[in-house]
Structure 1
Amino acid sequence: MSDPQYEVKSWLRQKLQPRGIKSEFGRAIGMSPDKVTRSIELDDPDPKKRRSLQMEELAAAAAFFQELPPGYEGMTTWLTRRGGVSEPDAVLFKDGKPIGVVEVKNPTPNASFPPRYQTFPDDVSIPLRGQISAGPNGRFIMNGQDIARVFCPPGLEGVDGAYAVQVQGTSGEPRFFNGETAWVNPHAKIRQGDDVVVQVLGKDDEDDVSSYIKRFVSQSSGSLKLYQYNPGKGETHDLIFPTDKVFSIHKVVFHAML
């Protein structure tokens, strides 16, 4: 089975080719030499000699090299922020090395009656669900783990089970772009035209649950119909699943590029 992080690992592997850069990189982001090596291993069949790159490690690599990994082009804040630095501080980098920390402040308004800036409480967050694999029609598999915490929009405060997912691929464009985060309310009422995260059971193995971020069209006793904005080659706009295979339908209430 091919590594779902093949492109990202190939990018990092190429970045670590220059002499001495691997050890410098490991020290800068707090990874041991063995951990770095296993993070970019693509050929060894032994799974113990390979590991998956975590989201915070990808963010640190982007900041170190001042370049976004493939598939994460929208995560522009990674180029100015560094793990372990709390808001509103930002790390300055030069030639891939941190050179200082500066405080980020809102500009002073010059109007007679300045607008009021809405702030979000720092301690209110919801889980970002981890994903593995990718497939036709924008299919992805949530791996059941929370890989990070993201800010909670006001409308989701106190909502039990609220979560977020990161958009993978281009099937949702121009509604959703690769790398965007979508926030989900699992209790909100679904109406035609809503964007939803749908989980569908596999045909033979009910432990195989596929997920999709699509537009809800309709649901009957026999089938669920979804619409995808940007189908790939050989795919159609319409997706239809048997209703008895639909595990859940959750409404997307907010999305943005972090």
Structure 2
Amino acid sequence: MSDPQIALKRWFHEKTAPHGAKKALADATGYTPTQISRMRNLETDDPKKRQEIPLDMIEKAARFFDSLPPGFEGMTQWLDHHVDSEKTVPVVGYVGAGAEAHFYALSDGELDRVPAPENAGPETVAVEIRGESLGPLFARWLVHYDEIRSPITSDLINQLCVVGLPDDRVLVKKVRNSKSKTPGLYDLLSNAEDPIFDVPIAWAAKVKSMVPR
């Protein structure tokens, strides 16, 4: 393995080392945790246990961790989701223990305003992660979303979403079709908590981006 590849692997290994980071990166990028484990493996040349890091994953990981890897220092367009300091979006709630977003009855519906990601639209909002329900790495990160689907649509299955339930809980979870195959019910998955099985979903929105605050 060449020196640049070793430096890249070490960067990737360090970024995905905290508890929950590998699973969260998998949810955000579409790669499997097994593939990510192979990409971060520094100890073997066995092709069954090691995988080179493809360019699209390097870019996605740089955006996700808001950090440029060795050899890619010039790719500043990858950072901060091209945050536009002139444009902001509202923070509408906090994601706390149990991944429940608690919304407060403010007159303008906002708790704060934060810089908007490049892909922000007129409906984009943010929630702030409080606690470690998505893993300790993501405490106080911002989760951006829009395009609320009610009812949920099939393209959100197996995606990390902000999910509203009929009992008014709002969760950040990966949505999966119910194992029981009961029509209208879904399973909700996360890193640090047990799955929630067989629940109806009132609305859902795919997570657009997650950035440190």
Q: TM-score under structure 2 normalisation?
A: 0.50
Contact 1:228 1:239 in 2 (8 A): no
Unaligned 5+ segments in structure 1 are 1-113, 203-208
Q: Give the match for residue 141 of structure 1.
A: 102
- Asked whether the 8 Å contact 2:91–2:111 carries over to 1, the reply is yes
| Higher gyration radius (CA) | 1
Counterpart residue type for residue 122 of structure 2:
D
Structure 2 matches for 1:198-217, cutoff 5 A?
198-202=163-167, 209-217=168-176
User: Where in structure 1 do 4 or more consecutive aligned residues deviate above 6 Å?
Assistant: none
* 1:116–1:138 Cα change, 3 Å: closer
Question: Is 2:125 aligned against 1:160?
Answer: no
Equivalent residues in 2 for 1:213-232, closer than 5 Å: 213-218=172-177, 221-231=183-193
Residue of structure 1 in register with 2:91 after alignment: 128
Amino acid at match of 1:195: L
Contact 2:89 2:116 in 1 (8 A): yes
Q: C-alpha displacement at 1:179, in angstroms?
A: 1.1
- Check 1:170–1:148 CA distance in 2 against 1; reply closer, same or farther (3 A cut): same
The sequence identity of aligned pairs, in percent, is 15
SS of 1:254's partner is: strand
CA distance in 2, matches of 1:241, 1:229: 18
Which one has more relative contact order, counting CA pairs under 8 Å at least 6 apart? 2
Report the CA distance between 1:140 and its aligned residue.
Answer: 3.0
Change (3 A) 1:242 1:250: same
RMSD over aligned Cα atoms: 2.8
Indicate the structure with greater helix content. Answer: 2
Q: What's the counterpart of residue 28 of structure 2? A: none
TM-score scaled by length of structure 1: 0.42
Q: Render the CA deviation track for 1:145-168: whole Å, top value 9, x for unaligned.
A: 311111111111xx2321000112
> Structure 2 stretches of 5 or more lacking a match?
1-72
Q: How does 1:4-19 map to 2 (within 5 A)?
A: none
Which amino acid counterpart does residue 179 of structure 1 have in structure 2?
R
Which amino acid is the alignment partner of residue 166 of structure 1? E
